[in-house]
């Protein structure tokens, strides 16, 4: 069965960077875009961007442009999201989610379990 | 920028029908989808392409899309359906989520 398994919780200081991983299994890794969505405690879902594991192409939300980098290692079916210049309001649960590449409408059929990133001095 | 608007909360009695709306410009052309999220869990896709149900989603969940509004309908609502629900669409190479609706079954 399809699974997206994320790395564990992180605690970072303001100004630092965090890199979260998302390992896919159960389907062809390169057939699906990996997206990243975050959720602050008690708040809604916020889309950060997408990455196509086949081409490495990315598309980022304007809000995170310049601070987020999405990459992948196809040999281990793993996608990564790195967020830099962390602030306290970056404290949130970060989810990876997959969407079939190159098709519309665009929706997320599988999600990772989430990774809590806490930014605190 | 494109926005999706949902009511913050909806209440329904067990066994009744719950309707959750999502509004956005020409949303009917964008085939909104819907996610259910229970506390401490990842979102779960319940409707895609406006009205299609993924495998394993009960038939009581249905979706419709018309004009500027997408609607998620839960028929015969059960206590287990109490959750937050989010609509989502794609516009100008960007994913947009609605603000979410808390469904209370009481």
Model confidence at A69, pLDDT cuts 50, 70, 90, reads very high
Contact residues on chain B for A44, CB-CB shorter than 8 A:
86, 97-100
Which residues in A lie closer than 8 A to residue B87 (C-beta atoms)? none
A49 contacts A61 by C-beta, under 8 angstroms:
yes
Tokens 């516009």 belong to residue: B91
Q: State the distance between the two ends of chain A, measured CA to CA, in whole angstroms.
A: 40
d(CA A2, CA A26) in angstroms, rounded, equals 4
**CB-nearest partner of B99 from A44, A59, A106:** A44
Q: Which residues contact B11 (CB under 8 A, 6 or more apart)?
A: B103, B104, B105, B106
Pick from B89, B93, B97: CB nearest A44: B97
What's the pLDDT at A115? 98
Is residue A101 over pLDDT 90? no
- The pLDDT score that the predictor gives to residue A64 is 97
From first to last of its 106 residues, chain B has per-residue pLDDT tens of 899 999 999 999 999 999 999 999 999 888 899 999 999 999 999 999 989 999 999 999 999 988 999 999 999 999 999 999 999 999 988 999 999 999 999 9
């Amino acid at each position: 069965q399809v699974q997206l398994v994320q790395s564990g919780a992180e605690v970072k200081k303001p100004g630092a960077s965090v890199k979260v991983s998302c390992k896919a299994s159960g389907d062809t890794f390169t057939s699906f875009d990996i997206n990243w969505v975050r959720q602050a405690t008690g708040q809604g879902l916020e889309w950060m961007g997408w990455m196509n594991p086949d081409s490495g192409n990315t598309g980022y939300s304007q809000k995170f442009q310049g601070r987020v980098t999405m990459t992948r290692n196809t040999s281990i079916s793993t996608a990564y999201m790195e967020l830099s210049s962390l602030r306290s309001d970056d404290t949130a649960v970060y989810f990876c989610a997959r969407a079939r590449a190159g098709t519309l409408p665009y929706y997320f059929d599988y999600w990772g379990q989430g990774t809590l990133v806490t930014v605190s001095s | 920028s494109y926005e999706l608007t949902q009511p913050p909360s909806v209440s329904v009695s067990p066994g009744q029908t719950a309707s959750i709306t999502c509004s956005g410009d020409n949303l009917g052309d964008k085939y909104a989808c819907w996610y259910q999220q229970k506390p401490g869990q990842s979102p779960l896709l319940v409707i895609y392409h406006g009205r299609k149900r993924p495998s394993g989603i009960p038939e009581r969940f249905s979706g419709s899309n018309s004009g500027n509004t997408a609607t998620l309908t839960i028929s015969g609502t059960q206590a287990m359906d109490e959750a937050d629900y989010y609509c989502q669409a794609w516009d100008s190479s960007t994913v947009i989520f609605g603000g979410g609706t808390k469904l209370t079954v009481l």
